[in-house]
Structure formats: C-alpha cells, structure tokens
Amino acid sequence: MLDYLNGREHAIAALDRELESLAISVITYGEVYEGILAGENTQQQAEAFEDFLDGPALLLVDQRVAHTWARLRGALRTGGHPLPDADLLIAATAITHDAMLITGNRKHFERIPGLQLFDP
C-alpha cells in the first residue's frame, strides 16, 4: 500500500488493474495511517490514501474473522511459528472473505495455510 501511495509504478499498475474488486482490512487501514502519520509527506499521503479508499470496501473484524484469527494464531504458535497479531488479523480477514491478500511481505504470510497471496 505504501508503494502505491509513494507513486511506485509497479504498485500503481497492480492495484489499479484490480481496483474495482479490491477490499482493505480495517487493520491495514490503521497500519497505513500509522505509516502516513510517521512520514514526511503526511498531508499529501493522507489525501492520496483517502482518494484510493473511494474504490475498495473496508472489511471489519467481526466474529467470523476473530474465529479464523484464533484458529490461525493457535496453530502457528503451537507449531513454533507465531506472527504479529496485526498480520494474523489481516490474513484472517482475507481467508474469511475468500480474498487474495496483496502483499510485498510473502515471508510473513506464506506460512499461513489457506491464504491466497499476490505479490505485485
């Protein structure tokens, strides 16, 4: 997402192709805003992000997502491969909604069973 907001062509091309079918987790929304607020071009990036948000649906953490998160978290912790809760909530949201997760961080997400990944 930050690549898109920073004007990197590969991210713009990848996301613009899929804009009508995109959705964003409320957790990703928070992570993006954290990055925007910590950055140098806060106003410009916030405006670009708000413009971007005109297209995708915002997916909330509900009981179904929380149940998927709990299952994933337990399995990964038991297997000795825990992940940060925010990443697991994002993955649980994608799995619950049968959506593909677009990420440049395959290392974190590729060990989550049932998660469809796309790396632009």
Q: Report the pLDDT value the prediction gives residue 16, as an integer from 0 to 100.
A: 63
Instruction: State the Cα torsion 62-64-65-70 to the nearest 10°.
Output: 120
Mean pLDDT of 52-60: 88
- The pTM of this model reads 0.84
Q: Report the pLDDT value the prediction gives residue 20, as an integer from 0 to 100.
A: 61
How far is 98 from 100, CA to CA, in rounded Å?
A: 7
Hey, what domains does the chain have and what are their CATH numbers?
A: 2-118 (3.40.50.1010)
pLDDT averaged over every residue in the chain? 87
